[in-house]
Structure 1
Amino acid sequence: MMTSQLIEEDLDRIERTFNLDLGRIRKDSAGEAASYYPQIEQAFRAEAREMAPHYEVFYSLERTIRTLVADSLVAADGPSWWSSSSRVPQRIKDDCENRLKREGDAGVTLRSEDPLDFSTFGELGQIITSNWDVFGALFKSEKAVARIMANLNTLRGPIAHCTLLAEDEVVRLHLSVRDWFRQME
């Protein structure tokens, strides 16, 4: 059994190194996905594997920023900060609530009932900079935060819309994430 596991690990490494699909059945391709995933071009599957770590970084960062925004504004104005304060520009409120309604009208499971979860990355940046009285204590520079958020918003495009992130942009993503956290030191 141990020998089989070691062989499987070696085959996994060979597939990654040489960008191959040896057609082995893996846990992640079992079940329902196994019926359609093999029909997708190998090149697209390889690109997906290459992009997965960047998606994970961006997903985690965006969720972290949403939580930071919500927690900070709850601390400033209480749990009804979204509806009872002027912390969120009305246009952003309207757009988020319209997206929430549109998703509900589509008959799919709502991703969330929190309108903040329907804000775009750019809107999150606007909420932070328009509430600098709250966020200024967390960050070193409003201009730097605005620039970093703009960079991240630009980088979000290829990640969210399933195109490859150029090598330079991978570096830019990592630097932007470092810049974000450096602003909070």
Structure 2
Amino acid sequence: MSLNSKSRDISKLANIFGASMGTVSIPKLFSSHFEADFSGSGKREQITYLLNKYKEDPKELLYIVQEIINNHTSVTAKNITPINDSLISLNLKVDPETYKAEIIRVPIHDVEMVLNNIAAENPMRFEDILPSEIIQKAKTMAQAYMIIYCSENTLRLFIDKISIEKFGDNYWNSLNIPRELKDKVGIRKKEETKNLFHALRGEKELFYLDMDDLGRVIEQNWDIFKTYFPNLSFIRQRITELTITRNLVAHNSKISDEDYLRILLYYKDILRQIGSL
């Protein structure tokens, strides 16, 4: 989407939102987002400033749009359509029934189509800065991320289910959790309260732990988890390998085809062991 298109849509949104904000003070509503004094300007100008400032930051933009909608005096199913028409260039949309704003997730094949269109305009230059093998590798990385995401959350749900069966819903303090992991959870929860515009990790402490941390929880509470695995080294080895690849993917580092096949195999191994739950 071109910059001109974004600017045009931001102007439309500012007109729509600015017209019906009632007595709401935009600078007060977004006090931490203004770097200059806009108290003397109109709501359209204030909203234009915010949308322009954060137009490349999807999470901040999502927060801003949601807050505006929450405080808007005349958002209806009828005028959601023009709002959504202008939000598309910002990769956002608003559900016409719940009025909840959300980020538009672009499917991988759509990303590839956009890249191919760009390459068609200047094939020689594009190949210099983004060789085709990088695009192919990106597809593998996307698939690897999906396996890792599923693996990590499968482990969380497994630990959660077994712990509830053993200790009840409030199992966290009954598990043997190393002090450094409890501290990590506390720090991450505290940081989360400072950044309310970011999505919450989850309701339970397990969602504030990383994959290798989940392995330590299983290891430190082996008595309640051991019936699901042949031995401790079985699950320890697989979580270690998954964690290594997870970190590579998280930092956009290359992974080999062997790495990809390994994490796929290990996830299947884990599912076979706990699939009877």
Partner of 1:104: 193
Structure 2 counterpart of 1:88, from 177, 180, 201: 177
Partner of 1:7: none
1:126 equivalent to 2:216? Answer yes
Q: Which deviates the most, 62-71 or 168-177? A: 168-177
Closer, same or farther in 2 for the Cα pair 1:20/1:47, shift >3 Å? farther
Normalized against structure 1, the TM-score is what? 0.71
Deviation at 1:171, TM superposition (A): 2.2
Distance in 2, matches of 1:100 and 1:45, equals 36
Distance in 1, matches of 2:115 and 2:137, equals 13
Closer, same or farther in 2 for the Cα pair 1:183/1:135, shift >3 Å? same
1:72 equivalent to 2:166? Answer no
Greater radius of gyration (CA): 2
The question of whether the paired residues in 1 share the 8 Å contact of 2:185 and 2:205 is answered with yes
Give 5+ residue unaligned stretches, structure 2.
1-108, 119-128
Closer, same or farther in 2 for the Cα pair 1:172/1:95, shift >3 Å? same
Distance in 1, matches of 2:226 and 2:145, equals 28
Deviation at 1:66, TM superposition (A): 0.4
SS at match of 1:165: coil
The question of whether the paired residues in 2 share the 8 Å contact of 1:145 and 1:183 is answered with no
Closer, same or farther in 2 for the Cα pair 1:80/1:108, shift >3 Å? same
Distance in 2, matches of 1:164 and 1:104, equals 34
Instruction: Please show how residues 161-172 of structure 1 align to structure 2 within 5 Å.
Output: 161-172=251-262
Q: When the two structures are aligned, how many residues end up with a matched partner? A: 154
Whose helix proportion is higher, 1 or 2?
Answer: 1
Runs of 4+ displaced beyond 6 Å: none
Partner of 2:106: none
Partner of 2:30: none
Partner of 1:177: 267
Instruction: Please show how residues 132-147 of structure 1 align to structure 2 within 5 Å.
Output: 132-147=222-237
* Letter of the structure 2 residue corresponding to residue 52 of structure 1: A
Give 5+ residue unaligned stretches, structure 1.
1-11, 25-39
The question of whether the paired residues in 2 share the 8 Å contact of 1:66 and 1:117 is answered with yes
Q: Which deviates the most, 137-146 or 155-164? A: 155-164
Instruction: Please show how residues 1-20 of structure 1 align to structure 2 within 5 Å.
Output: none
The question of whether the paired residues in 2 share the 8 Å contact of 1:21 and 1:42 is answered with no
Deviation at 1:175, TM superposition (A): 2.6
Deviation at 1:46, TM superposition (A): 5.0
The question of whether the paired residues in 2 share the 8 Å contact of 1:81 and 1:87 is answered with no
Deviation at 1:174, TM superposition (A): 2.1
Deviations 1:69-102 (A, max 9, x none): 11111111111111x3143222211211211211
Closer, same or farther in 2 for the Cα pair 1:20/1:101, shift >3 Å? closer
Distance in 2, matches of 1:88 and 1:74, equals 15
Deviation at 1:51, TM superposition (A): 1.4
1:22 equivalent to 2:111? Answer no
The question of whether the paired residues in 1 share the 8 Å contact of 2:175 and 2:221 is answered with no
Structure 2 counterpart of 1:117, from 200, 207, 212: 207
Q: Which deviates the most, 109-118 or 54-63? A: 109-118
Tell which has more relative contact order, 1 or 2 (C-alpha 8 A, sep 6+).
1
